[in-house]
Chains A and B, each alone.
Chain A
Amino acid sequence: MSPRHTDRSYEAELSALRNRLLELGGKVETEIAMGMRALAERDAKLAEDVMVTDREVNRLEVQIDEACRRLLALRQPAASDLRFITTALKIVVDLERIGDLAVNIAERALDLNQSPPLRPVHDLTKLALACQSQLRKALDAFVDGDTAKAEAVIKDDDLLDALYHKVFNELLGLMMEDPRNIRRATSLMFVAKHLERLGDHATNVAEMVVFMVRGTDIRHPGSRSLK
């Protein structure tokens, strides 16, 4: 473990920031799980709970932004501290956005509750589990500063995309079978799209973890040479 900062209040502020980020990560993970359960179990109360949790997520986002600005202004962080704080400022945006996607999924669940259930779309469940696992791994990579785990998340995003296209085709099939399915299948298509976007945000988090640990920006390869 690296030595601690000589200034203990600085050390405490950095670890408070880290804890808030972990709390935020935990909350958006819960939101997604709740949203998917609300959808599967047609549970309106659970869908409403997602929206309540999202307000806490928004509050945490604002607090984290404030903490980062304060650290930048008062501490003039350098090296790994600077990379940690700029990473925090960026991943907080991705995490908050994931919370919004969970709210969108909960809204679809409430909408679908108005109609009788459609037959289960198994690949959608698979997609949801895969997305949650990607988010979990990206957050673990952040906690442990584990670039191997982060790189696995980035690589596995292709699997999510493939799964998303399978779900898309399956739902398209349902619509063609019976026009009365169209409204509900469209709602589920939105859910699938939200999950696929969630996966992209998890990838963004993973890319920032690689930057935080190594100091190299792996996003958009080759973009530096473009004028």
Chain B
Amino acid sequence: MNPAKIEAVRLSAWYGDSQVLREVSLSVPANSVLAIIGPSGCGKSTFVRCLNRMHELVPGARQSGQLRIDGKDLHASGVDPVDLRRRVGMVFQRPNPFPTLSIFDNVIAGLKLNGIGGNHAAIAEKSLQRAALWDEVKDRLHASALSLSGGQQQRLCIARALAIEPEVLLMDEPASALDPIATAKVEELISELKSSLTVIIVTHNMQQAARTSDRTAFFYMGELIEHGETEQIFTNPREPRTEDYVTGKFG
């Protein structure tokens, strides 16, 4: 296994008085895909939001414990959250392209905002190719991003996240609003991305978790119940609660 890219040590998180994560300790090897599964409200989205320090933006939110990337504490003095979010990209459930920008400008938006120079046209092409969107948009790069279908918009958002070359990509239900073909493209993309970065995907689709990830973590009511090799979690989980969840015996 590769060395840990991301480590959580007894991470707890709250919204006001309600505790949503309970002492989660988990490490994610570099260049691997971790899937996080669990019922709604289990804390999986909060967990990924802690990883790019988005959780602390919510009024009343707080957290305890440690989070490290490459061994470095995310809350150490001198860590700039904006710089961190450049290294830890995120793709959301609903495609959220900038509505007033063209396809091309959407992809390079992160570069412009961060004042990153270089050959933007080349970076845009490479990012769109990595997101498996290039062939579909290369002749209309300056059309509005909203002229794309939902699945294309989601891949555009992935291209936008990739353009600034993050080390970690967080994906919160990235394919839940997509049709099966777009879903297959996004899933294929996830498997390809891990050669250059570390991916965490939150999903309600267990087959998707099984297909795309190397390791799977099962969260329930804010606790990490079990995590291990994806194949083991789906064929022979150790914990009865994991077994009940993956076989559909909940609620």
Contacts and interface: CB of A to CB of B under 8 A. Distances in A.
Interface of A: 2-7, 10, 76-83, 214-215
B250 A79 contact: no
Interface string B226-247: 0000000011110010111011
A3 B249 contact: yes
A212 B235 CA distance: 10
B2 interface: no
A10 B248 contact: yes
B215 to A, nearest CB: 16
Given A2-B240, A76-B207, A78-B206, A83 B248 contact: no
A83 B235 contact: yes
Interface residues of B, number: 17
A79 B243 contact: yes
Contacts of B246: 78-79
Contact of B235 (A2, A5, A10, A82): A82
B207 A79 contact: no
B244 A2 contact: yes
Contacts of B234: 78-79, 82
17 contacts: A2-B240, A2-B243, A2-B244, A2-B249, A3-B244, A3-B249, A5-B248, A5-B249, A6-B249, A79-B234, A79-B236, A79-B243, A81-B247, A82-B235, A83-B235, A83-B236, A215-B235
A6 B248 contact: yes
Contacts of B240: 2
Interface of B: 206-207, 210, 234-237, 240, 242-244, 246-251
Contacts of A81: 247
Q: Is the interface of B mostly helix, strand, loop or mixed?
A: helix
Query: What 9 A-B pairs come out closest when comparing CB atoms?
Result: A215-B236, A78-B246, A3-B249, A78-B234, A81-B247, A79-B246, A79-B243, A79-B247, A5-B248
B247 A77 contact: yes
A10 B206 CA distance: 17
A82 B246 CA distance: 10
Given A78-B206, A79-B243, A6 B250 contact: yes
A6 B251 contact: yes
A151 B240 CA distance: 24
Contacts of A215: 235-236
Contacts of A3: 244, 249
B137 to A, nearest CB: 33
Given A2-B244, A76-B206, 8 more contacts: A5-B248, A6-B248, A6-B251, A10-B248, A78-B210, A79-B235, A79-B246, A83-B236
Contacts of B250: 6
Contacts of A10: 248
Contacts of A214: 236
Contacts of B244: 2-3
Nearest to B244: A3
Nearest to A84: B247
B204 to A, nearest CB: 14
B36 to A, nearest CB: 16
Contacts of A83: 235-236
A82 B206 CA distance: 14
A4 B250 CA distance: 8
Given A2-B240, A2-B244, A3-B244, A78 B235 contact: yes
In this complex, the member of B210, B242, B246, B250 whose beta carbon has the largest number of chain A beta carbons within 10 angstroms is: B246
A83 B210 CA distance: 16
In this complex, the member of B235, B237, B242, B251 whose beta carbon has the largest number of chain A beta carbons within 10 angstroms is: B235
Contacts of A5: 247-249
A179 to B, nearest CB: 58
Nearest to B234: A78
A79 B207 CA distance: 12
B217 to A, nearest CB: 16
Contacts of B235: 78-79, 82-83, 215
A185 to B, nearest CB: 49
A146 B187 CA distance: 40
A152 B43 CA distance: 46
